[in-house]
């Protein structure tokens, strides 16, 4: 048993022995199904704290010849003929069970965490060499009789080729934090390319590779000819394929844990839900465990990430970026094209690139069906609030702080107070937004109504009604005792005309089956007089 070659199972044993452990072992069914096939190269990217390292520890404990993990996996889903699964993606039954037993602790494993070799900038120039040196040293101890130092000049790939030729034994590679160099040495493209060359030489066309499983935050970076490591199937937060439920906690799992620990599930959902990974709603696992352990709902994000990191990106000078942040802080969503992202932390050509990076970092979530991004939950909303508070966005904070008062005025149908509140929000946002059309007006409105997050679902922009569109619609959360809000915005027209349009085009017809009371809110900005007008009426059902 070595540190890097055929390691033991202690890290996974500690995970299973923890007070709160959720079984994700069915992932092994998939890795077994691609073992020694053309699909054997896997690169999985998720934000920090989403269980990547735990899964890597699990795979090492399962495959490694350096330990006996039979009792450790006994009773876990992967060892059961018919586990109580969440609806797994791989066929169950005898074939899976046979594969499970046949591969348990039967493989040579090379497992390393790149961050252990690159936790300081001074290591950038030597970390590739050091990785190879320590692994080759352990390989010599493991395969001494088949070891030939004449292959040293070819580095780790040459050594592995020689061992494979002499023994016929291949290797399972498990690499954690594979993208560490792209985060620590963000601007050093030369070392990044050398690292990609190392990975290409290690994996591409290598018969000794039985499985290569890499995890990180970023998808694989490609540099022209260096895209040769595209032999990997990638499973990212923007394209999770069939890996959605195996990283993060599902709603069913969180409900069960809340019941077990007598925790308020509604609060848990508000604070830590919201990540859409394919077809699954995923909760932040580390935060859920912390909340259950300490019996307290709050932001645990700052334990590993800080608002300073977020601030750096949202202050980028791209058209529409600040408007998108404002809209999302108000509960709104922003459409992006994630395909322009270059899979690094420095190459940004447009706001979509910045917002896609924030998805990979876990600050935003991405809906594959709509191509929309948004702030997933209360925990991350607090990090955004901290970022704008210290980032020179004080005027936005003013609008956010007054939001609760504006919402209460709306419920009270105090049209004058609402007009004044929207006008104040417009003034607050003047340094951030160019207030010159209905779109910027809607953006300011999102900030003004940010308090709706506690009472309403995410606002719906341009609700289809069959005969037109309403600008912004807020539908109450389940059990929230408040009316739905249907808001129509006008620019240089009239509030009366906005109310008339709502009624004539039947905008409320689409909403009335979803809630009880509905308030029709019409807001107009008269640019010539520089005033806001508002009319609020209660919708009367026929």
Structure tokens at 175: 């690499």
What are residue 117's phi and psi, to 5 degrees?
-105, -5
Query: How far apart are alpha carbons 401 and 398 in whole angstroms?
Result: 5
Whether residue 275 contacts residue 359, with contact meaning beta carbons closer than 8 Å, is answered with no
Whether residue 85 contacts residue 23, with contact meaning beta carbons closer than 8 Å, is answered with no
| pTM score of the predicted model | 0.85
> How many CB atoms within 10 Å of residue 338?
21
Whether residue 78 contacts residue 16, with contact meaning beta carbons closer than 8 Å, is answered with no
H/E/C letters for each residue in 520-533? Answer: EEEEEEECCCCEEE
Whether residue 415 contacts residue 537, with contact meaning beta carbons closer than 8 Å, is answered with no
Cα–Cα nearest to 218, from 387, 60, 16, 353 = 353
Strand partners, 109: 172
Note the helical H segments in 94-179.
94-103, 127-142, 155-167
Whether residue 484 contacts residue 501, with contact meaning beta carbons closer than 8 Å, is answered with no
Q: Is 191 helix (H, G, I), strand (E, B) or coil?
A: helix
Query: How far apart are alpha carbons 362 and 49 in whole angstroms?
Result: 9
pLDDT score at 136: 94
CA R_g for the chain = 27
pLDDT score at 88: 46
pLDDT score at 467: 42
Output the tens digit of pLDDT for each of the chain's 542 residues.
899 999 999 999 999 999 999 999 999 999 999 999 999 999 999 998 899 999 999 999 999 999 999 999 999 999 986 655 444 444 555 688 889 999 999 999 999 999 999 877 778 889 999 999 999 999 999 998 777 766 566 799 999 999 999 999 999 999 999 999 988 888 898 999 999 999 999 998 899 999 999 999 999 876 665 555 788 999 999 999 988 888 889 999 999 999 999 999 999 998 999 898 888 889 999 999 999 999 999 988 765 555 667 888 888 878 888 888 888 888 888 999 999 898 888 889 999 999 999 999 999 999 998 999 999 999 998 888 888 877 667 667 777 788 889 999 999 999 999 999 988 888 877 767 666 666 777 777 888 888 888 888 888 876 554 444 457 889 998 778 899 999 998 888 999 999 998 888 888 877 767 668 899 999 999 988 989 999 999 987 66
Query: How far apart are alpha carbons 113 and 54 in whole angstroms?
Result: 12
Show the beta-strand stretches assigned E in 368-517: 372-374, 460-464, 469-474, 484-491
Show the beta-strand stretches assigned E in 30-133: 41-45, 108-113
Strand partners, 519: 485, 538
């Amino acid at each position: 048993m070595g540190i890097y070659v055929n390691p033991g199972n202690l890290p996974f044993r500690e995970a299973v022995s923890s007070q709160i452990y959720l079984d994700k072992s069915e992932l092994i069914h998939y890795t077994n199904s691609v073992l020694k096939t053309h699909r054997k190269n896997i690169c999985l990217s998720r934000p920090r704290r989403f269980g990547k390292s735990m899964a890597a520890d699990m795979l090492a404990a399962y495959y490694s010849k350096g330990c006996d993990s039979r009792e450790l996996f006994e009773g876990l889903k992967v060892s059961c003929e018919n586990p109580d699964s969440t609806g797994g993606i791989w066929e169950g039954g005898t074939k899976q069970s046979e594969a499970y037993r046949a591969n348990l602790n039967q493989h040579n494993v090379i497992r390393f965490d790149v961050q252990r070799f690159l936790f300081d900038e001074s290591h950038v120039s030597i970390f590739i060499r050091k990785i190879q040196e320590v692994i080759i040293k352990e390989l010599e101890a493991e395969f001494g009789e088949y070891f030939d130092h004449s292959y040293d000049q070819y580095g780790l790939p040459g050594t592995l080729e020689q061992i494979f030729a002499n023994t016929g034994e291949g290797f399972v590679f498990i690499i954690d934090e594979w993208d560490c160099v792209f985060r620590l040495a963000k601007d050093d493209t030369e070392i990044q390319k050398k690292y990609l060359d190392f990975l290409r030489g290690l994996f591409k066309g290598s018969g000794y590779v039985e499985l290569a499983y890499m995890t990180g935050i970023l998808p694989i970076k490609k540099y022209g000819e260096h895209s040769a490591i595209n032999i990997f199937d990638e499973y990212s937060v923007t394209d999770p394929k069939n890996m959605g439920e195996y990283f993060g906690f599902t709603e069913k799992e969180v409900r069960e844990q809340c019941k077990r620990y007598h925790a308020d599930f509604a609060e848990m959902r508000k604070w830590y839900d919201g990540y859409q990974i394919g077809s699954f709603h995923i909760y932040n696992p580390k935060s859920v465990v912390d909340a259950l352990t300490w019996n307290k709902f709050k932001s645990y994000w700052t334990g590993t990430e800080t608002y300073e990191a977020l601030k750096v990106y949202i202050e980028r000078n791209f058209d529409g970026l600040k408007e998108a942040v404002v809209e999302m802080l108000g509960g709104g969503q922003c459409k992006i094209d994630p395909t322009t992202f270059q899979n690094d932390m420095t190459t940004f050509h447009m706001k979509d690139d910045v917002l896609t990076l924030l998805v990979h970092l876990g600050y935003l979530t991405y809906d594959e069906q709509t191509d929309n991004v948004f702030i997933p939950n209360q925990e991350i909303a607090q990090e955004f609030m901290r970022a704008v508070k210290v980032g020179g966005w004080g005027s936005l904070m003013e609008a956010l702080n007054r939001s609760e008062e504006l919402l209460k005025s709306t419920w009270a149908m105090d049209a004058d107070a609402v007009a004044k509140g929207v006008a104040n929000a417009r003034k607050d946002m003047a340094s951030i937004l160019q207030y010159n059309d209905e779109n910027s007006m809607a953006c300011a409105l999102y900030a003004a109504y940010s308090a709706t997050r506690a009472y309403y679902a995410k606002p719906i922009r341009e609700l289809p009604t069959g005969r037109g569109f309403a600008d912004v619609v807020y539908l109450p959360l389940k059990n929230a005792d408040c009316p739905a809000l249907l808001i129509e915005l006008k620019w240089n027209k009239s509030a009366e005309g906005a109310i008339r349009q709502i009624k004539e085009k039947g905008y409320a017809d689409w909403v009335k089956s979803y809630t009880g009371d509905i308030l029709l809110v019409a807001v107009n900005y008269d640019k010539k007089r520089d005033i806001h007008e508002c009319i609020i009426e209660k919708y009367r059902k026929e």
